């Protein structure tokens, strides 16, 4: 089976900043994968490179076997990205936003799926509301919805729970877990490490543009702990050792 993501030898500089200093990573289909690291580690840059928003200086990236540059149409069809920045188009309602996004992916009548997404993200009551009128947490959930309109096999969420309250976070994870159960591969970044600990089967920890630890969540906890540690302690130790 072709991997959901294949990343090989990817580097990227912004001026003098080495945002990615040689990343090799494979994520298998069906995984629930966590990408952790302090601010500036390069997580967003790596996701942007997968999405074709950033052009790497060297290396290759594939989504479901499709090169993100040479075969960008197929690669983008297979990928759904929830951007870290809380962006929206103030001109449209939630439903219009999702219909337009569907159209970008070549899907014309998508209202059944759109309604299902909205219900699962607790946004059904806001379908006709203008994007401007939504709270930050609601806008974040619309971003999640936008990433899902084309039912992508690979879903990448860059800090999807930032600014979303606890109750809605639970709902979001339920929905994402369901999608994962239905075969979608999930990659997420988050600063809430207990979230990563409960959701992710495998985790990569990044620092300064490199992957400094990569293992199953269980192994990471065993390797860097004494049985009582949580992922937060393991993370701190990995970061210290990588210094």
Ligand X SMILES: Nc1ncnc2c1ncn2[C@@H]1O[C@H](COP(=O)(O)OP(=O)(O)O)[C@@H](O)[C@H]1O
Q: Is residue 199 at the binding interface for Mg ion, with CB under 5 A as the rule?
A: no
List of residues 6+ apart from 71 with CB closer than 8 A = none
- Interaction pattern, residues 39-78, with Mg ion; x per rule: CB under 5 A: ----xx----------------------------------
Structural contact between residues 60 and 6, judged by C-beta atoms closer than 8 angstroms: yes
By a kind-dependent CB cut-off of 5 to 8 A, residue 42 interacts, out of other proteins, Mg ion, ligand X, none, with ligand X
Smaller CB distance to ligand X: residue 98 or 196? Answer: 196
The β-bridge relationship of strands 79-82 and 5-14 is unpaired
Residue list 42-71, contact with ligand X (CB under 6 A): 42-45
Residue list 12-41, contact with ligand X (CB under 6 A): 14, 17, 19, 37, 39-41
**From candidates 24, 38, 55, 232, binder to other proteins by CB under 8 A:** 55
By a kind-dependent CB cut-off of 5 to 8 A, residue 107 interacts, out of ligand X, other proteins, Mg ion, none, with other proteins
DSSP string spanning 102-160?
HHHTT----HHHHHHHHHHTT-GGGTTSBGGGS-HHHHHHHHHHHHHTT--SEEEEEST
> What would the two tokens of residue 43 be?
């997580």
Q: In angstroms, what is the minimal distance from the CB of 56 to ligand X?
A: 12
**From candidates 1, 39, 90, 128, binder to other proteins by CB under 8 A:** 90
**From candidates 81, 179, 203, 234, binder to other proteins by CB under 8 A:** 81
22: left (phi over 0), alpha (psi -120 to 50) or beta: left
Q: Is residue 185 at the binding interface for Mg ion, with CB under 5 A as the rule?
A: no
Rg of the chain's alpha carbons, rounded to an integer?
A: 18
Residue list 136-165, contact with other proteins (CB under 8 A): 146
Structural contact between residues 156 and 95, judged by C-beta atoms closer than 8 angstroms: no
Element (H, E) at 62: strand 58-63
DSSP 223: H
> Which residues here bind other proteins, judged by CB under 8 A?
14, 48, 51-55, 72-74, 76-77, 79, 81, 83, 85, 87-92, 100-108, 146
> Which residues here bind ligand X, judged by CB under 6 A?
14, 17, 19, 37, 39-45
């Amino acid at each position: 089976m072709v991997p959901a993501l294949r990343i090989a030898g990817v580097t990227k500089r912004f001026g003098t900043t080495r945002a990615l200093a040689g990343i090799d990573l494979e994520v298998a289909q069906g995984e629930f994968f966590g990408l952790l690291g302090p601010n500036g580690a390069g997580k967003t840059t790596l996701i942007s490179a997968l999405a074709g928003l950033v052009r790497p200086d060297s290396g290759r990236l594939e989504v479901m076997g499709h090169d993100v540059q040479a075969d960008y149409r197929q690669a983008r069809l297979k990928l759904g990205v929830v951007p870290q920045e809380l962006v929206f188009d103030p001109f449209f309602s939630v439903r219009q936003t999702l219909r337009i996004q569907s159209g970008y992916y070549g899907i014309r009548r998508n209202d059944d799926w759109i309604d299902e997404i909205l219900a699962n993200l607790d946004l059904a009551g806001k379908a006709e509301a203008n994007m401007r009128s939504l709270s930050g947490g609601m806008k974040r959930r619309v971003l999640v919805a936008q990433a899902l309109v084309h039912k992508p096999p690979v879903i990448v969420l860059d800090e999807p729970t930032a600014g979303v309250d606890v109750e809605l976070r639970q709902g979001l994870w339920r929905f994402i877990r369901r999608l994962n159960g239905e075969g979608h591969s999930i990659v997420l970044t988050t600063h809430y490490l207990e979230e990563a600990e409960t959701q992710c089967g495998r985790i990569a920890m990044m620092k300064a543009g490199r992957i400094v630890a990569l293992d199953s969540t269980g192994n990471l906890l065993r390797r860097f702990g004494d049985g009582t540690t949580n992922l937060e302690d393991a993370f701190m130790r990995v970061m210290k050792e990588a210094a």
